Chain A
Amino acid sequence: MKILTLIRQVPDAEARVKAAGGQMDLSGTTMVIDGMDEYGVEEALQLREGGADVEEIIGLAVGPAQTEDAVRTALAMGIDRAIHVETSSYLDPITVSKIVATVAQEEGVSLILAGGQQADWDSQALGAATAERLGWPQATWTNDLSLSGTALSGKHDVDSGSENFQMDLPAVVTTQQGLNEPRYPTLPNIMKAKKKELRKDDLSRFGAESKVQLVSSEIQVRSRKNQMIDGKDPQAAAQELINLLRSEAKVLN
């Protein structure tokens, strides 16, 4: 069976993000493969290494030209080949799911691994929307997964706590912290990755038009009091803080 693992490039969490004139300005921002997608790539590799019958692991990314760097990272981690649908237009997750579902069908994959929440969209929709388009079941926020034949089993987070689950392929699984420890690409593997197939695909053939328009993006910094209390005298500092919580924040009686 084949696995499709989704790759998104997002700003490094430590990097500063900027917006100007109601639009994001990511020029100069360090961009990395989304950590949630690294879990997906790693899980695909571990399923194969664990003895599951994995014929091929294919990466898929939708994004601007520089997304190729994130795709190369996934190739260096060990996926077999990748497809990059290049676009700099804003596409919402529901629209991207159309591309993912089409590629999944063309490539004949039976397991799709997607990030539980992308660090640019802050969205949890991509995996579920893809599953719906394909008519497949899904497990979201998965932190433990195993595959035996065509039977998936594992554990995933739900509203209060977690559940153990089972389902049959084909299916969509979205990742969560704890699923695995993603490997670092080694230098030899980075070199090898340069020779792996990275096919560019054309957005126009997917008929993927966003039904949601992005009107504006703004960075609204909430002003904070930044009032510092001297901690040299713990008792006095504690008393002052408790007074502030009572009189200003009004969270204590």
Chain B
Amino acid sequence: MILIIAEHKDGQLSKSTAEMVQAARASGQSGPVTVLVLGSGVNEVANQAAQFADQVLVADRPELAQYSAEVWTAAAAQIAQQGQANTVMIGGSRSGREYAPRVAVRLDAPYLEDAIALQAVDGGLQSQRYSYLARVTETQQASAPTVVVTVKPGAFQPAAATGQTAEQYDVELELPQPRLQVTGKNEEKLDRVSLSEADIIVTGGRGVGSAENFSTLVEGLADALGAGVGATRAVVDAGWRPYGEQVGQTGKTVQPGAYIALGVSGAVQHLSGMGKSKYIVAINKDADAPIFKVADYGIVGDVNEIVPALIQASR
């Protein structure tokens, strides 16, 4: 079987789970597409998963209320072994890429990380992924009875519902006590659409000038367009914006329909987080800024003049 560990949040199945189902079905591997739901009070999540999968396994237990790398590793590895999974698919989120390597080591399996394409080939499984700060596309291949894969969010279309409701089965697990104790949580505040869901992202860089300007221009344009708000590392380091908005190598990786960069120079570390956006728009007064090289549409000009005009024109 192809075992997919469901990602879900606030009682809802995440889009990434449907994307993994699509990646599994399109890969040409054999075996039923099986979704494992780990959590507490996940009845609704399991019902949603049943719309996409061939079968759904559910472990609904209080100990699974909170994600833990050690607990998720144990759960995924046990089910993979019992079900003799040929592929274990895990979301390419921060948490997924934290426990997937442990699952691979525990199963003595090869690990294909952050796949953007997946194909069964003669004698194994081939994946494509980005490397070298997303400047290089690698093709990797693994041949083993079980292969562990993480799937890059947004790289696959979400699967359509099968039109049938898959059977659900409760599973037994032996879970360890997590040794990493969580003593406090600092949830990201989201006033707008999240960067992973946004179809348009407006990002501000140093060239925006100040924290006040960032609010007026970047947030102003984002609100006018119904967009998410991103920031460069320089802006986060300067304390203008929270880290949760940072796009780039050490922040978030995004792939929206349009990425609008205001006063962003375009350092490689930033490009690695947004370079795969469908359309890139750059507005910067420096005509030599590297961001223009990757832009579909560019305006050389002062953001203080162009952005208010954009807000006006979008109405």
List chain A positions with a Cβ less than 8 A from chain B.
Answer: 11, 13-14, 17, 19, 24, 36, 92-94, 97, 116-117, 119-126, 128-129, 131-133, 137-141, 153, 155, 157-168, 171, 176-178, 211-220, 222, 224-232, 234-235, 237-239, 241-242, 244-245, 248-252
Contacts A122-B132, A125-B100, A218-B136: A226 and B295 contacting too (C-beta < 8 A)? yes
B98 touches A120 (CB 8 A): no
Could you say which residues of chain A place their CB within 8 Å of the CB of B9?
Answer: 159-160
A216 partner, pick from B110, B138, B243, B275, beta carbons under 8 A: B138
Question: Could you list 14 A-B pairs, sorted by A, with CB under 8 Å?
Answer: A17-B136, A24-B132, A92-B140, A133-B105, A137-B70, A138-B69, A162-B186, A212-B112, A212-B141, A214-B140, A218-B136, A225-B297, A231-B301, A249-B296
A134–B110 CA distance with the chains assembled, in angstroms: 18
A213–B109 CA distance with the chains assembled, in angstroms: 13
- The number of chain B residues with a CB under 8 A from chain A is 90
* Closest chain A CB from B290 CB (angstroms): 10
A235 touches B313 (CB 8 A): yes
B225 partner, pick from A123, A163, A225, A252, beta carbons under 8 A: A252
A128 touches B99 (CB 8 A): yes
B257 touches A249 (CB 8 A): yes
Instruction: Tell me if B187 counts as interface (CB < 8 A to partner A).
Output: yes
Could you say which residues of chain A place their CB within 8 Å of the CB of B301?
Answer: 231-232, 234, 237
A116–B138 CA distance with the chains assembled, in angstroms: 20
A239–B67 CA distance with the chains assembled, in angstroms: 47
Could you say which residues of chain B place their CB within 8 Å of the CB of A218?
Answer: 136-139
Q: Binary interface profile of B, 80-113, with partner A (CB < 8 Å = 1, else 0)?
A: 0000000000000111011111101110011111
B94 touches A122 (CB 8 A): no
Could you say which residues of chain A place their CB within 8 Å of the CB of B99?
Answer: 128
A242 touches B268 (CB 8 A): no
* Closest chain B CB from A19 CB (angstroms): 6
Could you say which residues of chain B place their CB within 8 Å of the CB of A157?
Answer: 94, 243
Could you say which residues of chain B place their CB within 8 Å of the CB of A231?
Answer: 283, 299-302, 305-306
B185 touches A137 (CB 8 A): no
B314 touches A252 (CB 8 A): yes
A97–B108 CA distance with the chains assembled, in angstroms: 12
B111 touches A212 (CB 8 A): yes
A139–B257 CA distance with the chains assembled, in angstroms: 34
A132 partner, pick from B101, B131, B244, beta carbons under 8 A: B101
- Binding stretch for chain A, among B40-48, B157-165, B175-183: B175-183
B233 touches A234 (CB 8 A): no
A167 touches B137 (CB 8 A): no
Contacts A124-B98, A153-B183, A211-B144: A161 and B280 contacting too (C-beta < 8 A)? no
In the complex, chain B residues 264-314 whose Cβ is within 8 Å of any chain A Cβ: 267-269, 272, 275-276, 278-281, 283, 292-302, 305-306, 308-310, 312-314
B299 partner, pick from A129, A158, A241, beta carbons under 8 A: A241
* Closest chain A CB from B6 CB (angstroms): 14
A123–B302 CA distance with the chains assembled, in angstroms: 38
Contacts A17-B132, A211-B144, A224-B294: A251 and B258 contacting too (C-beta < 8 A)? yes
Q: Binary interface profile of B, 103-131, with partner A (CB < 8 Å = 1, else 0)?
A: 01110011111100000000000100111
A120 touches B131 (CB 8 A): yes
Using CB atoms, name the residue of chain B closest to A177.
Answer: B250
